Each structure stands twice: as C-alpha cells, then as structure tokens.
Structure 1
Amino acid sequence: MTWGLWNNWMLPGIWITIQVTLYSAAIALAVSFTIGTARTSRLWIVRFLSGIYFELFRGASALVLMFWLFFALPIAAGWQLVPMWAGVLALGLTYGAYGSEIVRGALAAVPTAQREAGIALNFTKLQRLVRIELPQAWPEMIPPFNNLAIELLKGTALVSVISVADITFSANLIRFTTTESAPIYSIILVMYFVLAFLITRGMRVLERHAKAGVGKAPERSGGLWSKLSLRRGRSEAAGAITAGGAR
C-alpha cells in the first residue's frame, strides 16, 4: 500500500470510525440512562413503554435498522438522512437498548437501605436517584459499559455498507485498487485492536476515579510486570526463610 492510498483513504477512514463511535456512544449513553431508569419507575405505564423499547431494539438487527433508516425512512417520511447519521442513529438506538439493561441492573443492585435513608431524609424520587442511587451504581456500570463500547466500535464496520468511508470501507477500496487482501485486512485488524485497547485504558481510568468518588479502593490491574515482580518477591522471601531455617 502506497503512502498516497494511506494518506487519502486510510487515515480519513480512521477519523470517520472514531467519529461514528463517539456519536453513537453519546446517543447510546443517553438512551441507556433514559430507558434504564424508566424501567425502574413505579408507574407501570412508564415501565411498559420502556420495556417495549428495550425488547424491540434489543431484538432488532442493527444492520437492518440502518437499512430502514437510510432506504425506507425517505419513502415513509419524505426526507433523507445523511448516510453517516443513519448509521450513527441505528447503532446508538440499538446499543442504547443493551446499555439500558446495564443501568437497570446496577440501580437494582443498590442496597434497599440506601433508598430508605433517602426516604427518611424526605428526598424526592429524582433526588434519591441523582444523589444516592446513581453515584453508587455508576462504578458498577463502567466494566460492562467498557465491553459495550468495544462492541460498538466493532459494530461501526456496518456503516460501510451504506457508503460511509470508515476504516472497513476504505480498506475495501484499497484492496480493489491494489488487489492485496492479506496485508490490508491485517492492518485494519490491528487498527481495531489499538482503538479497542485505548477505549479499555480510558475506561479503566474512569472506573478508578468513579470508585474513588464513592470511597472504594481502586483495583490494581495486575499486569505482567507486577505479577513477575510479585513472584520474584515471593521466591526471595521463601529463600530467606529456608536460609534462616538452615542456620
């Protein structure tokens, strides 16, 4: 692959993928908290409607929804979405349904005594949610949200089918130009891995800060170097104990 192809196609494709991921994640996050908290409401009609959304978009294919927004919506509504925003909307609505279950489960895991304490303080439902439940549930949401964000990143490859020039679309164009398949697809595999790794590291930092905010000790990642150092320290300690016993 020449520098011209890389500069003209692959680099803009990376930027498009990042944009689609960020915009879709923003929509998915808003939908996750809206539907997730609605599913914990005391009003049955709110739980019913939010449950319909959850089941509908969780069971729908993101690709088919993307096709519907891009090809069928103009016929039904008379106006056309830009390809990128059709893809962003489809991904955001679909992954937002998955995220709503994360929010609902984390809120349900907050101890009942915490809610009762809010009631005793005469907090409204909204005040209990904002001041008590969400701050405690948020650190528990981050690890599953991390997995969901990585799945969303990989799902952005679907936008290439509606002519959005992301990494996958650009790679296919370069493959048609150069007739080289193995190098091109190996490169984009590495690109997706690097982007997913950066998301993971960012979410780890966010998780540590979130846990520190509620008084929880941050968990250490325990990388390879730290494990080797711990093993070496144990070996040295065992050797010292053995030498002391021999004396």
Structure 2
Amino acid sequence: MGFLELLGSMLSEGLMITVVTTVLSALLALILGFIVGLLRLSKNKLIRFIVGIYVEVFRGTSLLVQLFWIYFVLPMFGITMSALTAAVLTIGLNYGAYASEVVRSGIESVDQGQYEAGIALNFTRWQRMRRIILPQAIVIMIPNLGNQLIELFKSTSLVSLITLTDLTYQADVLNATTLQTTEIYTALLIIYFLLAWPLTKGMAILERKLTEGRM
C-alpha cells in the first residue's frame, strides 16, 4: 500500500471518531448550557450556588487535566467508562459550562421592557421566557455559541491522549510508522480546516436567518 493510500485509510478511520465525538459533545454541551444558564438565573440561592460551582470548576481548570481525571482517576473509585464516553462527557461538561454563561448573558441582555410586557400580558414566568425572552436571547447567543462550537471541535484533538483513535491519534501513529511528518500533519491541518469551515459558515447563515426582519 502506497503512502497516500495508507494516509487516506488511517485518517478516514480517525475522521469518524472525531465527528462522532464532536456531535455528541456539542449536543451535551448545548443541553447543559441551556439548563445551567437558566438555573444561574434562579431565585433560589442554593441552586445558583451549586450550578455556580460546576461552572467555575470546569471553566477554571484545564480540559486536558479534566480528560485525564475522568478517564484515569475515576476508575480508582469504581467508575469506569470507555475512552469515547469519557471524551464526550468531559468535553460536553467543559463547554457546557462556557455555553451556560453565553445563555445567561444572552437572557440578561434582553431589554427589561420585554419582561414587563410579558407581565402586562399576564404570562407566567415560563411563558414569558419561552414566548418573549428566549426567541430574542437566542439571536444574541448565536455568535458566541458558534465560536464555542468551533473551539469544541478543535479541542477533540486532545482525546488522542486518552487512547481514543481520532484524527490526531491516527496521524501520530502514521508519523511514527513512516516519519513523513510534513506530509502527515499538513494533511491533518487541511482536514481540520475543511471540517471547521462548514461549521463557521453554517452558524453565520443561521445567525443571518434568525435576524431577518428583526432589525
């Protein structure tokens, strides 16, 4: 098998792992981001304190250390999981913390008059949030959430350090076998760019669609 065929074969194997890790982590981060972001606005001080600890811990510590801790340390306490599960959980928890701050700040950016209008319409708090506040806040959140998605995608390269056979892991294996470093990592760079570009353009299109008619 020639070098190019070997390169294509190994990187295509890693591509699936990278895509799966990105999609599952992004879904987890988005769900956590909205839940925790809303809880950060709770009137209950205890709830705000608990979710605040989660946010500060995951924003204030290294993603790499979190990966190692969840994959290598938790088994010492009887909690064992596959490399893929550990990667998705860690990245999802990490970026969920960042996303929650985007959600919280987006909601707080909505003009106070919108809340008052909901009260005047006799909407419950949940109705005000669902019908008035969130539709406007999401438009504000999209640019920052898009940036977080790109950062999340790029962070998946770290999962190779916990033996998950993603693109970076496959490139490292191929480099150790062939020693053609320049060709391998140039190809890896191009692949990551080609994967990130549609995400960037997709978020820009989504932002434009959501803002149509609102200006």
In structure 2, how many angstroms separate the alpha carbons of the residues matched to 1:124 and 1:42? 15
Residue-by-residue CA offset, 1:141-172 (whole Å, 9 max, x unaligned): 11111111111111001100011111100000
Runs of 4+ in 1 over 6 A off after TM superposition: none
Are 2:98 and 1:107 aligned?
no
In structure 2, how many angstroms separate the alpha carbons of the residues matched to 1:3 and 1:188? 13
Equivalent AA in structure 2 for residue 5 of structure 1? L
Taking structure 2 as the reference length, the TM-score comes to 0.95
> For residue 149 of structure 2, what is the aligned residue in structure 1?
149
> For residue 71 of structure 2, what is the aligned residue in structure 1?
70
Percent identical: 44
In structure 2, how many angstroms separate the alpha carbons of the residues matched to 1:202 and 1:22? 14
Residue-by-residue CA offset, 1:166-197 (whole Å, 9 max, x unaligned): 11000001101111111111111111111111
Q: Which residues of 2 match residues 153-232 of structure 1 at below 5 A?
A: 153-212=153-212, 215-217=213-215
In structure 1, how many angstroms separate the alpha carbons of the residues matched to 2:73 and 2:180? 35
Moved more, 201-210 or 157-166: 201-210
Root mean square deviation of aligned Cα = 1.3
Moved more, 104-113 or 50-59: 50-59
> For residue 41 of structure 1, what is the aligned residue in structure 2?
42
Q: Which runs of 5+ in 2 are unaligned?
A: none
Pick 1 or 2: higher relative contact order, CA cutoff 8 A, min separation 6.
2
In terms of Rg, which structure is larger? 1
Q: Which residues of 2 match residues 107-146 of structure 1 at below 5 A?
A: 107-146=107-146
Aligned residues of 1:60 and 1:94 also touching (Cα < 8 A): no
Equivalent AA in structure 1 for residue 107 of structure 2? L
Taking structure 1 as the reference length, the TM-score comes to 0.83
In structure 2, how many angstroms separate the alpha carbons of the residues matched to 1:216 and 1:137? 12
> For residue 51 of structure 1, what is the aligned residue in structure 2?
52
Q: After TM superposition, give the deviation of residue 198 of structure 1 in Å.
A: 0.9
Moved more, 124-133 or 110-119: 124-133
